[in-house]
Amino acid sequence: MYQQHNLREREVEIFVSKLLKYGVMIATGIVLFGGISYLSHHFRETPNDQIFRSEPPTFRNPEIITISALSGRPRGIIQLGILLLIATPVARVGFSLLAFIRQRDYLYVIITLIVFSGLIYSLIWSHS
């Protein structure tokens, strides 16, 4: 029984490490693709370093970001990659929460639930 418990823990660790690794790789690839696409459309423009312009408010909405990326807009593709990069560790914490619930490790369930709640709260209310 002890060996089977260790095997399950090891499987969870492997899955979590792959989730992080592939999540970061996919997000990086999307940002790179979007960056190359953006530069190929705007390579002749001279940037104005005197004025800072942030992303438009529409690019703070995940649904609009996804629609923009799927329609092939370079800025939308970049934003989607960044959104996926942010979502990767959040997904890791969410998966860990499910794994701790399954293992009935209630101390870690409570701790992970607090961390997960903090992440979700900061994502939802950060732009308000």
**What is the per-residue pLDDT across 56-98, written as a single tens digit (0 to 9) for each?**
777 778 888 999 999 999 999 999 999 999 999 999 999 999 9
Instruction: Using the predicted structure, report yes or no on whether residue 18 has a pLDDT greater than 90.
Output: yes
Q: How many residues does the chain have?
A: 128
**Burial class of 82 by CB neighbour count within 10 A (0 to 12, 13 to 18, 19+):** middle
Q: Is residue 107 within 8 Å of 100, Cβ to Cβ? A: no
Instruction: Using the predicted structure, report yes or no on whether residue 1 has a pLDDT greater than 60.
Output: no
Structure tokens at 81: 């990659």
Which residue's entry shows tokens 């329609």? Answer: 71
* Residue, of 3 and 125, whose pLDDT is higher: 125
DSSP H helical segments within the chain, as ranges?
A: 2-42, 62-70, 74-103, 106-125
State pTM to two decimals: 0.78
Helices 74-103 & 106-125 angle (0-180, nearest 10)? 160
Mean pLDDT computed over every residue of the chain:
87
Distance CA 116, CA 92 (A): 10
* Residue, of 52 and 19, whose pLDDT is higher: 19
